[in-house]
Amino acid sequence: MSHPTDGNGSAKFAIGCGAGFASDRLDAAVELVERVALDWLVLECLGERTLAFAHRDRRADPNRGFDPLLERRMRALLPRCRARGTRLLSNMGAANPRVAAEATVGIARALGLSGLRIAVLLGDEVTEKLAPDTPLWEGGTIAERGVPVGANAYLGCEQLLPAIATGAEVILTGRVADPSLFLAPMIERFGWALYDWQKLAAGTLVGHLLECGMQVSGGYFADPGKKDVPDLARCGFPFAEVEAEGAAVIGKTPGSGGRVHATTVKEQLFYEVHDPTAYHTPDVVADFSAVAIEEVGPDRVRVSGARGAPRPPSLKVTVGFDGGYLAEAGVSYAGPNAAARARLARSVLEERMRVVHGYRGPLRIDLVGLRSLHATALPEPAEGEDVRLRAALRAPDREPAELLLWEVEALLTCGPAGGGGYRGRITPQVTTASASLPRAAVTTRIEVLEA
Amino acid sequence: MSRRVPVHAIAHARAGDKGDTSNVCLFVYEPRHYPALLRAVAPERLRAKFPKLLRGPIRLFELPHLHGVNLVMENALEGGVNASLNLDGHGKSWSFLLLGLEAEIED
């Protein structure tokens, strides 16, 4: 197949993002692969809590614990990636990468993709390697916080590169730092050294901009009348054309909706970044404070100027814990005097929970339509004519959670006039904390499976 | 002649979270409004405006070449996604909380 070439005739390197979180769109990923000659397609699907839930799933059933959308994504993308000569890299292995790879072999065989090779990176799970007295970044120790449901180290390019070197068309991983999923293919392509901090920072910048999918290409951006985005319903995924020194042009699927502009790139540049001069990954400490952003064409923005310093000495570990239950329940009031009726419902519910039942735990009651998301920050407006009481609590066991649902539903006949639309649900929770682990404590290996 | 406008009129923003720490980056549309943005989101002003929400240290990183700032606010997410009872436990909407502040611009 043909890859885009620059003026000197040397092949450009194109890497795209076809998922920036577990629930990201699939049709747009198909369009990206079909319309852009990508060297690599990366699917980033593994949030911190997603992985903790995956550990639970694996415990319940050893054949689960990987991304539940893996089969649908692979069915749609494997044949197209193979036809286009695009290699696929994803952390959809979650808490069970080996079984995810076996499932992918099965899918490839069913699709007639014989000979497809899948390399799987193992060894990010460190649950058994963490002593109970391991300190947590948030304070205290693991033992003081509880019994972990699972713990994983953020692997980097050093661990991922051997999987890429196998030449396998598909690479599956568990926990790998998100930017590393993009940086490792660049390192392999351009032969950058693992201590070439400037180039690793440049590639990390590209990975950071791509890792949240459409957040750099028009998603999570539209503000009608202020920042308009064309055809948001058909927003395209982004890709980068990377130069040998690490500068890159960010673009998006041709013919798709969305927008790549200096403003979309700026917003994503500091997304979940704290000190702009010290963005820590397993590969490098990157400085984004002097990044240059240049519009070089329609929906094409060139980024350069990241600087690098030596990588952190240890690896970050995320530890998942049981988080008890979250209960949420609501009932709505509309029309004349709705705000007053909703306020009365709130005071009735508070008295029922606190006084009648003696519940002492955390309880939040918002009046959606008056003030909810910003209720802690801003005063509550007096009026509103379509108001939803929304109550929430967290508890280590189910009993208070069930009590809240019962009491909110009882507001229908026992509360103010005209309440309707009761809904309630209880969802098991996980929580996460962070710890550090010496690099030498983490040993990884690669397995290659063939369809 | 100066007048008061919502920060939303002069800037755009995005919020992210890590644990109980919120970061919001804001950028002005027009470079001439950069000083007004810096005044509008100065950490001491934010603490005074939202004392119940912003309960920890606030750092402001200036990014003058991009006409933007990155605000890092600790203990600002009501416990964060692990503990918050807010519908928006990630504080994704903190960007528009700050865009709702007033800025004083020169005409």
Q: Which residues of A touch B83 (CB under 8 A)?
A: 394, 431
Q: Does B73 touch chain A (CB under 8 A)?
A: no
Q: Does B102 touch chain A (CB under 8 A)?
A: no
pLDDT at A111: 98
pLDDT at A5: 45
Regions of chain A short of the pLDDT cut 50: 1-9
- Count other C-beta atoms under 10 Å from residue A243's C-beta: 16
State whether residue A218 is helix, strand or coil.
Answer: coil
Q: Does B23 touch chain A (CB under 8 A)?
A: yes
pLDDT at B4: 97
How many CA atoms within 13 Å lie on the side-chain side of B56?
14
Residues facing residue A329 across a β-bridge: A391, A424
Q: For residue B75, which of B66, B83, B67 has the smallest C-alpha distance? A: B83
Considering only CB atoms, B52 lies closest to which of A293, A377, A392, namely: A377
Indicate the pTM of the whole model.
Answer: 0.96
A210 and A216 in contact (C-beta within 8 Å)?
Answer: yes
What tens digit of pLDDT does each residue of B27-66 get? 999 999 999 999 999 999 999 999 999 999 999 999 999 9
Domains along chain A with CATH numbers:
13-127+152-314+437-450 (no CATH), 319-434 (3.30.70.1150)
A196 and A252 in contact (C-beta within 8 Å)?
Answer: no
pLDDT at A11: 63
Q: Which residues of B touch A390 (CB under 8 A)?
A: 87
Computed from CA positions of residues A70, A73, A79, A85, in that sequence, does the dihedral angle turn out positive or negative? negative
Alpha helices in A230-350 (DSSP H): 262-269, 338-350
ipTM of this predicted structure: 0.97
Considering only CB atoms, A376 lies closest to which of B53, B63, B72, namely: B53
H or E element: which one contains A110?
helix A97-110
Whose tokens are 């069930």? That residue is A402
Question: Which of A373, A388, A429, A434 to mutate: most B Cβ within 10 Å?
Answer: A373
CATH tag, B2-106:
3.30.70
What tens digit of pLDDT does each residue of B3-21 get? 999 999 999 999 999 999 9
Question: Which of B37, B73, B78, B85 to mutate: most A Cβ within 10 Å?
Answer: B85
Q: For residue A315, which of A46, A124, A98 has the smallest C-alpha distance? A: A124
pLDDT at A336: 98
Distance CA A425, CA A421 (A): 13
Considering only CB atoms, A376 lies closest to which of B19, B52, B63, namely: B52
Work out the average pLDDT over B66-78: 97
Q: DSSP letters along A185-216, please?
A: HHHHHHT--TT-HHHHHHHHHHHHHHTTGGGG
What tens digit of pLDDT does each residue of A274-283 get? 999 999 999 9
Contact at CB, B16 and A323, closer than 8 angstroms: no
Alpha-carbon separation of residue A320 from A59, A145, A146, B85 (angstroms): 13, 10, 10, 19
Contact at CB, A376 and B78, closer than 8 angstroms: yes
